[in-house]
RNA sequence: GCCUUCUUAGCUCAGUGGUAGAGCAACGCACUUGUAAUGCGUAGGUCAUCAGUUCAACUCUGAUAGAAGGCUCCA
């Protein structure tokens, strides 16, 4: 049979040669480092015979697909180790993930103290070079083989009728699995259990919680070491840690869970962002509203939020009360209905659309106690919220303008590591959505057309839409690798009807506006968290809570330093003076540790000449800068929101 | 809400069934400093809270609260 290689070369091999044979024919090193083989685009075991003319490529342990195979195999090896140590445990599911793998077990109750024993057992299995044998079985045979593994049985029963059922045997472990796998466990040179966690069977909180073991594996020890060091560096930027070290926020259990308090520095950061966003939005045709932090439950009954989300709302009064006369209020979980009421205060003509309302709105959501996280998931937060009421023919242009605004913010903040997600409804879970399939079909196709036209790469996610419409979500990852939505733009054909919103068209007829719900910079707290992590605390000059720290050489310079501080404050720059009787080295160090972008030093010669010595965070020092020149440069950096500054 | 782990001074962390320690920060004194830690001294803690075991609990057990990671949820 003919084997075609990725470079186009064609070689003749005997019928039923394996991927391993093919690799070996090229070099022994390749065979040794191969993880799997891709035959006509399908990944399969190296040991599987190839039966017909095929295009093949050898996947090595260093390829990302090969690393996935290795990690998936490592998950099996770990399962074998767990089964050896805890024979009563039950297997659930164990795939490779982006940076490792996990395996879920039932009837397993490990604590951290048990991890070393598992790692030892895995080492043994790696040394044993346990083979992975792929075996094809009938459904009835599979049900018999896995009769003691209830989760595998459930899975077999979930498989489509025509699915070929395979399992892998590695030592004493028999695991229902599609593969492919390594030839044997010997290639798993580096293995580590990362952490224990809980996870619901099939990801459904109505199901039993299983024990999940997260681990990672590499084909050599250095890769593992590099990975762990990379994790360590990333976690050093954890906003939850840095944010407190840099004196941006605190928490206190007497205030409550998910209720961080911003310090003066944190507050300055937030205010700077808010002013930036509000000014930019005003310049782009938004009008700002100020609406109440709470509303009667009737408002949310009309919008539909009450039925779906009342458990997640902070309610004042008895939410179960059937008495219509009893006043029941809710702290607002979003501002949409408030702004609709503002829109409805008077009639609108087609000529005045689009109406763009924005608000820096404080919102309250009763998040589940276990889901709160630093500044990222909190119970009171501030959203750069907005709603655009427009005609159907304006949707595209308005949506594009929103994207342009968002891109401007992302670019100004130098955020690059984000992705787009097209969030759609789930037709099989209609309880969560306004159940009008034709409307969903329409709104999703409109949004899809806009996204495709923009050329932006996006992933599609079923079941992630808002209950009233599809969304474009901008997703970012925190230092732990967990993805969150930072910004969302939603297309809503539904709520205008519920609130009886209208405009008069050119023919004098009443029409429903289409509503675009949008955030521009997201939730300020969450965005701040991601900024802290992305910058590692080193904010650009315009955003830094303290922009300039003035250091004095000796006490006689203090009056000049204080006078300079006042001068800087008057022009809107944020400066303070370190007048401690410490050495200059010490004061420089303190300022650098606080990541203050500009450090000024004043001694006798500076006072005499009306100059400053300017040090930037990178350690560069520029001497004898005229105070006025310094101020002018700072004002330009501040106004331009420059990411890099220099006083040379 | 569920799973694992954690909670000792403002911060970072030691520590042991016999009553608590360091570094940094703070404060005081001396030093008056030229670009990443001057020296000496002082003060600071019912060891998260509550209950139990014990002659004795910061240490062991349980509950509660809060925190970290994961799962679920996320308008």
DSSP state of A373: B
Q: What is the DSSP string of A443-500?
A: HHHHHHHHHHHHT--EEEEET-SBTTB-EEEEEEE-TTS-EEEEEEEEEESSHHHHTT
Identify nearest nucleotide to residue A200 by CA to C1′ distance: B71
Q: For position A8, what pLDDT does the model report? A: 87
Question: Strands across the sheet with A380-390, in order?
Answer: A287-288, A355-364, A380-390, A514-523, A483-492, A471-477, A418-424, A458-462
Give the start-end residues of each E strand in A81-124: 90-93, 96-97, 100-106
Identify nearest nucleotide to residue A490 by CA to C1′ distance: B75
ipTM attached to this prediction: 0.94
Is the distance from CB of A486 to CB of A476 less than 8 angstroms?
yes
Q: Which residue is nearest to nucleotide B32 (CA to C1')?
A: A554
Is the distance from CB of A511 to CB of A502 less than 8 angstroms?
yes
Strand partners, A601: A551, A613
Is the distance from CB of A295 to CB of A337 less than 8 angstroms?
yes
Is the distance from CB of A417 to CB of A456 less than 8 angstroms?
no
Write the CB contacts of A47 (distance below 8 Å, at least 6 apart in sequence): A18, A19, A20, A134, A183
CA–CA gap between residue A187 and residue A69 (Å, rounded):
11
Spanning CA of A372 to C1' of B66, the rounded length in angstroms is 12
Domains in chain A, start-ordered, CATH in brackets? 2-60 (3.10.20.30), 65-229 (3.30.980.10), 269-291+332-535 (3.30.930.10), 294-331 (no CATH), 548-640 (3.40.50.800)
Total length of chain A: 648
Spanning CA of A256 to C1' of B66, the rounded length in angstroms is 9
CA–CA gap between residue A285 and residue A304 (Å, rounded):
29
* Covered bases, chain B (protein CB within 7 Å): 1-6, 11-12, 25-27, 30-38, 65-75
Question: Strands across the sheet with A315-316, in order?
Answer: A294-296, A329-331, A315-316
Q: Which residue is nearest to nucleotide B48 (CA to C1')?
A: A253
Nearest to A177 by CA among A132, A219, A218, A144: A132
Strand, helix or coil for residue A67: helix
Report CA A359 to chain centroid distance, whole Å.
Answer: 24
Q: What is the DSSP string of A531-589?
A: HHHHHTT---TTT-SS-EEEEESSGGGHHHHHHHHHHHHHTT--EEEE--SS-HHHHHH
Spanning CA of A200 to C1' of B63, the rounded length in angstroms is 26
Reply yes or no: is the peptide bond before residue A354 cis, omega within 30 of 0: yes
Spanning CA of A111 to C1' of B53, the rounded length in angstroms is 24
Identify nearest nucleotide to residue A619 by CA to C1′ distance: B35
Proportion of chain A above pLDDT 90, given as a percent: 89
Using only C-alpha atoms, chain A has a radius of gyration, in whole angstroms, of: 31
Identify nearest nucleotide to residue A603 by CA to C1′ distance: B34
Reply yes or no: is the peptide bond before residue A108 cis, omega within 30 of 0: no
For A233-242, give one letter per residue: b (16+ CB within 10 A) or e: ebeebbbbbb
DSSP state of A184: B
Q: Which residue is nearest to nucleotide B37 (CA to C1')?
A: A586
Identify nearest nucleotide to residue A602 by CA to C1′ distance: B34
Identify nearest nucleotide to residue A369 by CA to C1′ distance: B1
pLDDT in tens, A290-339: 999 999 999 999 999 999 999 999 999 888 777 777 899 999 999 999 99
CA–CA gap between residue A526 and residue A383 (Å, rounded):
9
CA–CA gap between residue A290 and residue A285 (Å, rounded):
17
Tell me whether strands A503-504 and A483-492 are parallel, antiparallel or unpaired. Answer: unpaired
**Positions in chain A whose pLDDT score sits under 70:** none
Spanning CA of A29 to C1' of B19, the rounded length in angstroms is 66
Nearest to A479 by CA among A432, A424, A435, A417: A417
Q: For position A317, what pLDDT does the model report? A: 87
What is the three-state SS of A274-331?
HHHHHHHHHHCCCEECCCCCEEEHHHHHHHCHHHHHHHHCCEECCCCCCCCCCCCEEE
Spanning CA of A606 to C1' of B32, the rounded length in angstroms is 16
Spanning CA of A212 to C1' of B58, the rounded length in angstroms is 33
CA–CA gap between residue A101 and residue A107 (Å, rounded):
20
Identify nearest nucleotide to residue A484 by CA to C1′ distance: B74
CA–CA gap between residue A139 and residue A542 (Å, rounded):
65
Is the distance from CB of A206 to CB of A174 less than 8 angstroms?
no
Spanning CA of A372 to C1' of B19, the rounded length in angstroms is 38
pLDDT in tens, A614-633: 999 999 999 999 999 999 99
Spanning CA of A106 to C1' of B21, the rounded length in angstroms is 44
Spanning CA of A113 to C1' of B17, the rounded length in angstroms is 22
Q: Which residue is nearest to nucleotide B12 (CA to C1')?
A: A245
Residue A366 CB-density burial (10 A; 0-12 exposed, 13-18 middle, 19+ buried): middle
């Amino acid at each position: 049979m003919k084997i075609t290689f990725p470079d186009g070369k064609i070689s003749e091999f005997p019928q039923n040669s394996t991927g391993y044979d093919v690799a070996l024919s090229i070099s022994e090193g390749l065979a040794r480092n191969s993880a799997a083989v891709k035959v006509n685009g399908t990944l399969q075991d190296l040991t599987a015979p190839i039966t017909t003319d095929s295009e093949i490529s050898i996947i090595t342990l260093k390829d990302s697909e090969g690393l996935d195979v290795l990690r998936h195999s490592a998950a099996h090896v770990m399962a074998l180790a767990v089964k050896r140590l805890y024979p009563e445990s039950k297997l659930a599911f164990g795939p490779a993930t982006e940076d490792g793998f996990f395996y879920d077990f039932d009837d397993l109750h490990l604590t951290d103290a048990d991890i070393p024993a598992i790692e030892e057992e895995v080492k043994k299995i790696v040394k044993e070079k346990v083979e992975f044998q792929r075996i094809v079985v009938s459904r009835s045979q599979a049900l018999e083989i896995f009769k003691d593994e209830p989760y595998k049985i459930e899975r077999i029963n979930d498989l489509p009728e025509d699915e070929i059922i395979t399992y892998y045997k590695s030592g004493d472990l028999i695991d229902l699995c599609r593969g492919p796998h390594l030839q044997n466990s010997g290639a798993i040179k580096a293995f580590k259990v990362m952490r224990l966690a809980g996870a619901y069977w099939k990801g459904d909180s109505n199901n039993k919680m299983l024990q999940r073991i997260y681990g990672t594996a590499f084909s050599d020890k250095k890769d593992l070491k590099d990975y762990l060091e990379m994790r360590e560096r990333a976690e050093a930027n954890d906003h939850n840690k840095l944010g407190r070290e840099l004196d941006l926020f605190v928490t206190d259990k007497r205030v409550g869970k998910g209720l961080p308090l911003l310090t003066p520095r944190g507050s300055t950061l937030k205010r700077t962002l808010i002013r930036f966003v509000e000014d930019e939005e005003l310049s782009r045709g938004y009008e700002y509203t100020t609406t109440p932090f709470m509303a009667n439950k009737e408002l949310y009954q009309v919008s539909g939020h009450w039925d779906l989300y009342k458990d997640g709302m902070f309610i004042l009064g008895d939410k179960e009360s059937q008495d219509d006369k009893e006043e029941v209020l809710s702290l607002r979980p979003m501002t949409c209905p408030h702004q609709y009421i503002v829109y409805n205060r008077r009639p609108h003509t087609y000529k005045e659309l689009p109406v763009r309302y924005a608000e820096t709105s404080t919102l309250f959501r009763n998040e589940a106690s276990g889901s709160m996280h630093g500044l990222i998931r909190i119970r009171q937060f501030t959203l750069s919220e907005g709603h655009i009421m427009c005609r159907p023919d304006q949707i595209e242009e308005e949506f594009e303008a929103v994207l342009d605004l968002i891109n401007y913010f992302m670019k100004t903040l130098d955020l690059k590591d984000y992705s787009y997600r097209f969030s759609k409804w789930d037709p099989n879970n209609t309880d969560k959505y306004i159940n009008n399939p034709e409307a969903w079909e329409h709104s999703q196709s409109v949004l899809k057309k806009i996204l495709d036209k923009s050329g932006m790469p996006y992933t599609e996610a079923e079941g992630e839409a808002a209950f009233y419409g599809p969304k474009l979500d901008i997703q970012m990852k925190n230092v732990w690798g967990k993805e969150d939505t930072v910004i969302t733009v939603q297309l809503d054909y539904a709520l205008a009807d519920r609130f009886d919103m209208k405009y008069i068209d050119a023919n004098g007829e009443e029409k429903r506006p289409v509503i675009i719900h949008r955030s521009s910079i997201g939730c300020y707290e969450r965005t701040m968290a991601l900024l802290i992590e992305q910058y590692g605390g080193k904010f650009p000059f315009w955003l830094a809570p303290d922009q300039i720290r003035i250091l004095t050489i000796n006490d006689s310079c203090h009056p000049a330093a204080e006078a300079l501080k006042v001068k800087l404050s008057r022009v809107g720059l944020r400066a303070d003076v370190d007048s401690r009787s410490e050495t200059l080295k010490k004061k420089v160090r303190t300022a650098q540790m606080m990541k203050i972008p500009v450090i000024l030093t004043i001694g006798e010669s500076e006072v005499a000449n009306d100059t400053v010595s300017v040090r930037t965070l990178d350690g560069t020092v520029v001497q004898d800068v005229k105070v006025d020149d310094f101020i002018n440069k700072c004002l330009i950096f501040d106004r331009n929101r420059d990411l890099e500054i220099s006083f040379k």
